Amino acid sequence: MDTPPRLTPEQEEKMIQDAFDELLDGYLRSNHRKKVEIIERAFLFAKDAHKGVRRRSGEPYIMHPIAVARIASREIGLGSTSICAALLHDVVEDTDYTVEDIEQHFGPKIAQIVDGLTKISGGIFGDKASVQAENFRKLLLTMSEDIRVVLIKMADRLHNMRTLGSMAPNKRYKIAGETLYIYAPLAHRLGLFAIKTELEDLSFKHEHPDIYRDIQAKIQESEARRSAVYSDFSEPIKTKLDQLGIEYDAKARLKSIYSIWRKMETKHLPFEEVYDLYAMRIIFKCDDQAKEKAICWSIYSAITDLYQLHPGRTRDWIVTPKANGYQALHLTVMGPDGNWIEVQIRSERMDEIAEKGFAAHWKYKIGDGDEESELNAWLKTIKDILDNPEPNAMDFLSTLKLNLFATEIVVFTPSGELVTLPSGATVLDLAFELHSEIGMHSIAGKVNHKLVPLQTELKSGDQVEVLTSKTQVALPEWENFMVTAKARTRLRKGLRAMRQPVVVKGGEMLSTWLIDNDLPDNNKVITKLQGIFHVANRDDLCYALGADEIVLGDFLLKPLRKAAGIEEKGILSKLITIGKKVVPGTAKSAPAAPDPVNPKKIYKLRSDAEGTNFRISDCCNPIPGDDVMGFISDDGSVEIHRLDCPEAQILKATYGSRIVATEWDTDGEQRFLAHIHIEGLDRHGILQEITHLISTHLGIDMRKLEIEASDKVFHADLWVRVSDADVVNDLCARTKSIQGVTLATRIH
């Protein structure tokens, strides 16, 4: 990090003024009404309020609200109310001014948004999972009241991510993790695709700086060849569109670094194969919305006259837009070099919606526009979940997250009604989506007139009917076949309602028994009972009692009295005669407690002849050389995860303060287990060549080898003990150079 040279007060003043003028210029060029006066006042107010305060990077604090307002205006397309709220967003949080002050100066609307932003400040996540869930609920609640709160919060997060470099490493991981876990999916759900992509890229850049630079360099290297292929492909199309008299803008679509990497990782492909997928985007001018569809299809027809169409890969998002508002026509054709190329066709209006999401809808609002109701439907789902929050904070988060990430399918009811569901949704999801009562009594589904079980996954375009029966009783296990939060929430609520009379009956039985046996009804006693009967909480205990699944008897008295602290005479005297103080756990020599870890410092991962000072998580099996982070577990030891491990994503997002930045410091004597997957064309002697290469040539310790050969193809899974990631990479590269091997990659 190079620190910027210190500016004189005059230079600084000019820098601030320039930044503000730029913001104002952008606003004046937008389609919004020109309410400059209030924006200027908000700027002066915020500037004065933050006077003398600096950001971590050293620049005056006011530069941050200006930048946030600029993102809100230019990149999200918001108007003067939001610009003012963005300029003022940290005033209540960081200075002595109150929401009432803001209301007095700027009116109730701006004050309300600033209030919403203040409530959810300090990151969505605090230190405890329950607090985090609570904050997240607040965020979503304020969002369902005024979506602008969340849009400005997005702008705030984007600017913080752009300037993340000046933060301490452990804070960086926390913020980057949180961004990837919650904000990027939220941006996606709101249709803010450009922001979503940038958030992902920035998170990735901070978590894997080396890989990021590597991919960046490779993109630059292949630039010339790519643009040659693109112009070969696009020139004939352009000529044709010009003949048709269509006004348009065509460009090669660039894949983001993060999405390239994701594809390389999930499909185990080398960079070249991922990046050789080209895409073109055509954005046409059209003032009459009624003509858009026809123009899209005439462009489609022009392209398919020139190139061979990939059947089954045409996507019409015009007639049924995605739930986040996305509209376009996609098709895939065979390019001149034999590669498949995707072409996206959109009008300028559709493009703006694709880039700026729902904010852009306001600009094109027409009467009681359909698109707005889509957003409202989603916000209603969120409210629905919030009305019935899960008792378990982590469950609540992952339920919501699932809904943020899901891509959609559209199915039809027998009456022809369209229902949008996340992909992977089953008949049960639909049943509960339609109505709790239908869900609770569903027995089977009819998909395209064929009888299917409830857990059947639905596909876009399916016509689905849910069959019900009065005598059917819903089961808790159904949850395993549901993907929507709404369905799960409704099922749990329904089950709770069904159980309630039994729980009440069991509760009365429990109280009577406790009184009869002189036992207190306190936490200690109930916890002990829960432990004995293996139930999770008091309700479950009462339910089991009420349903006669368990019985209370004299055998419980001894452990319960002990738990309640009512000692029995005999035992006490026995202990005294032995004359020893009994401390549990001293019998076996417990490992010495590790020194407390300071999360502010980089933790050196030591591994030498004496052992290791960290534990390897078994979810992602990192080895030295991988980009990893440490998580300080309950016993104080450091557990390491790969930065991109799904488990680590959750840890980063929920236990930010327990994340520690790490550095490998091993002497190479320690060995770690790595799993390698190899695929190829079976030919005589190829497996001998591979095993020979591994065991003799490279001197690697092979632990296990599983081979499966069928027809002409073989798959091999290999476990080796190595000192670090470089050895594995080298091994994969060498294996791949064996003739016939098509794939050799490490599996995490």
**Residue 569 CA to chain centroid, in angstroms?**
57
CB of 156 to Mn ion, least distance (A): 4
Amino acid at site 1? M
Q: Which one of 41-49, 151-159, 180-188, 686-694 is the stretch in contact with Mn ion (CB under 5 A)? A: 151-159
The residue among 90 and 201 lying less far from Mn ion, judged by its C-beta, is 90
Q: CB-based contacts of 480: which residues, under 8 Å, 6+ apart?
A: 455
Q: Name the H helices within 607-685.
A: 646-654
The residue among 30 and 121 lying less far from Mn ion, judged by its C-beta, is 121
Q: Which member of 156, 201, 639, 644 binds Mn ion (CB under 5 A)?
A: 156
CB of 55 to Mn ion, least distance (A): 10
Per CB under 5 A, contacts with Mn ion among 483-522 are none
For tokens 């309640």, the residue is 564
* Position with the least CB separation from Mn ion: 156
Residues 681 and 713: beta-carbon distance below 8 Å = yes
CB of 360 to Mn ion, least distance (A): 24
Cα-based torsion angle of the residue sequence 433, 434, 439, 445 in order, rounded to the nearest 10 degrees: -100
Respond yes or no: is residue 2 known to be catalytic.
Answer: no
Total number of residues shown for the chain: 748
CB of 121 to Mn ion, least distance (A): 7
Where on the phi/psi map is residue 123: left (φ > 0), alpha (ψ -120 to 50), or beta? left
Q: Which one of 150-158, 562-570, 603-611, 636-644 is the stretch in contact with Mn ion (CB under 5 A)? A: 150-158
The residue among 65 and 624 lying less far from Mn ion, judged by its C-beta, is 65
Rounded to whole angstroms, the Cα distance separating 192 from 75 reads 9
CB of 65 to Mn ion, least distance (A): 7
DSSP 602: P
Q: If we measure between CA atoms, which residue out of 473, 460, 432, 464 comes closest to residue 445?
A: 464
Q: If we measure between CA atoms, which residue out of 215, 218, 219 comes closest to residue 205?
A: 215
First to last CA, the chain: 32
The residue among 155 and 722 lying less far from Mn ion, judged by its C-beta, is 155
Rounded to whole angstroms, the Cα distance separating 538 from 719 reads 46
E strand intervals along 81-233: none
The residue among 156 and 626 lying less far from Mn ion, judged by its C-beta, is 156
The residue among 195 and 274 lying less far from Mn ion, judged by its C-beta, is 195
DSSP-derived pairing of the beta strands 638-642 and 628-632: antiparallel
Q: If we measure between CA atoms, which residue out of 61, 75, 64, 94 comes closest to residue 26?
A: 75
The residue among 122 and 209 lying less far from Mn ion, judged by its C-beta, is 122
Radius of gyration from C-alpha coordinates of the chain: 31
CB of 157 to Mn ion, least distance (A): 8
Three-state SS for 747?
A: strand
Rounded to whole angstroms, the Cα distance separating 660 from 599 reads 5
CB of 362 to Mn ion, least distance (A): 24
Q: CB-based contacts of 443: which residues, under 8 Å, 6+ apart?
A: 454, 467, 468, 469, 472
- Contact between 390 and Mn ion per CB under 5 A: no
Q: CB-based contacts of 310: which residues, under 8 Å, 6+ apart?
A: 331, 332, 333, 334, 340
The residue among 88 and 648 lying less far from Mn ion, judged by its C-beta, is 88
Cα 271 to Cα 241, 614, 747, distances in angstroms: 33, 33, 17
CB of 94 to Mn ion, least distance (A): 9
Q: What are phi and psi of 345, to 5 degrees?
A: -115, 125
Which stretch of DSSP H or E encloses residue 445?
strand 442-447
Rounded to whole angstroms, the Cα distance separating 252 from 535 reads 58
Point out the catalytic residue in the list 59, 94, 145, 316. 94
Residues 725 and 605: beta-carbon distance below 8 Å = no
By rule CB under 5 A, what count of residues binds Mn ion? 2
Cα 141 to Cα 117, 134, 135, 267, distances in angstroms: 12, 10, 10, 38
Residues 147 and 116: beta-carbon distance below 8 Å = no
Per CB under 5 A, contacts with Mn ion among 55-114 are 90
CB of 91 to Mn ion, least distance (A): 10
CB of 90 to Mn ion, least distance (A): 5
Give the number of C-alpha atoms closer than 13 A to the C-alpha of residue 199, restricted to the C-beta side: 27
Respond yes or no: is residue 93 known to be catalytic.
Answer: yes
The residue among 55 and 562 lying less far from Mn ion, judged by its C-beta, is 55
The residue among 121 and 256 lying less far from Mn ion, judged by its C-beta, is 121
CB of 89 to Mn ion, least distance (A): 6
Point out the catalytic residue in the list 93, 479, 568, 667. 93
Three-state SS for 127?
A: coil
The residue among 90 and 198 lying less far from Mn ion, judged by its C-beta, is 90
Q: If we measure between CA atoms, which residue out of 387, 426, 431 comes closest to residue 413?
A: 431
The residues binding Mn ion (CB under 5 A) are 90, 156
Catalytic residues: 93-94
